[in-house]
Amino acid sequence: MHSPRVLGLAGWSGAGKTTLLTRLIPLLVERGLRVATLKHAHHEFDVDTPGKDSYEHRRAGASEVIVASSRRWVQMHELSGDEEPTLACLLRRVSPCDLVLVEGYKRERHPKLEVYRAVVGKPPLHPADPRIVAVATDSLLPGAHPPCVDMNDIPAVAEAILAHALPIEQVLEILEAA
C-alpha cells in the first residue's frame, strides 16, 4: 500500500467537525479509499467499561491492554504521568491506509480544513492560521480567505480534502520542524 495522505479538520467545539466526518467517511470509503481517523480529546476519556476484564486489568495497574476478537482489536496505553504523545508520534502508529483525517489538534502545524459555523459565536481560525488550506462553512465569509466549500455539499468537501491532503512524510517533516 502506498503512503497515506493527511489532512486535519479544525474548528471550535460545536462547529460540526464530527458530524462532517461521519458524513464524509462513507463517501470516501465508497470511492475505494481506506480511511483512518485520529481524534484529539481535551479531557480525560475512556473507551472501556467498568466491570469488563480489560477495564479491571487497567485498574489493577497494567500499562497496556490489548483486546482482540474476530471483528476488531483495540490497544489501550496508560500514560501514568508520561507526556501526551505528539501528533507526529501518533501519525507514525496509524495502520496502512489511503487517508488519515485528524480531528482536533487545531494548534498544530499540519494542513487543515477549517469547519466554521457563525452560529457557534466564535471567530474563524483561518485568519490566524496559514496552515488552514480550505474552509467548510455554512456562512459567507467576508475578506480574503482560503477556498470555501459548502459544508453540506459532502462531495465538494471530499474533493477539497483530497486536493489538500499531503503525504504523511511531508506532514511529519512539517510537524517536526523546529
- Rounded average pLDDT over 93-115: 94
The model's pTM: 0.89
Give SS3 for 118. Answer: helix
Mean per-residue pLDDT for 1-22? 92
What gap in Å lies between CA 52 and CA 16, rounded to an integer? 32
Q: Given this model, what pLDDT does residue 158 score?
A: 98
pLDDT in tens, 70-93: 898 888 888 777 888 899 999 999
Residue 42 binned pLDDT confidence (cut-offs 50, 70, 90):
low
In this predicted structure, what is the pLDDT of residue 88? 94
| More confident site: 9 or 142 | 9
- Picking from 31, 174, 19, 32, the residue whose alpha carbon sits closest to that of residue 111 is 174
Percentage of the chain with pLDDT > 90? 64
Residue 5 backbone phi and psi in degrees, to 5: -105, 155
Q: Please give the pLDDT value at position 18.
A: 94
Q: Which residue type does 8 have? A: G
CATH number of 5-46+83-176: 3.40.50.300
Where do the domains of the chain lie? Answer: 5-46+83-176
- Grouping H, G, I as helix, E, B as strand and the rest as coil, residue 54 is helix
Residue 31 has pLDDT above 70, yes or no: yes
pLDDT at 142 over 90: no
Write down the pLDDT at residue 82: 81
Contacts 24+ apart (CB under 8 A), 138-142: 141/116
Average pLDDT taken over every residue of the chain: 90
**Cβ-Cβ contacts under 8 Å for 20 (sequence gap 6 or more):** 9, 115, 136, 151, 157
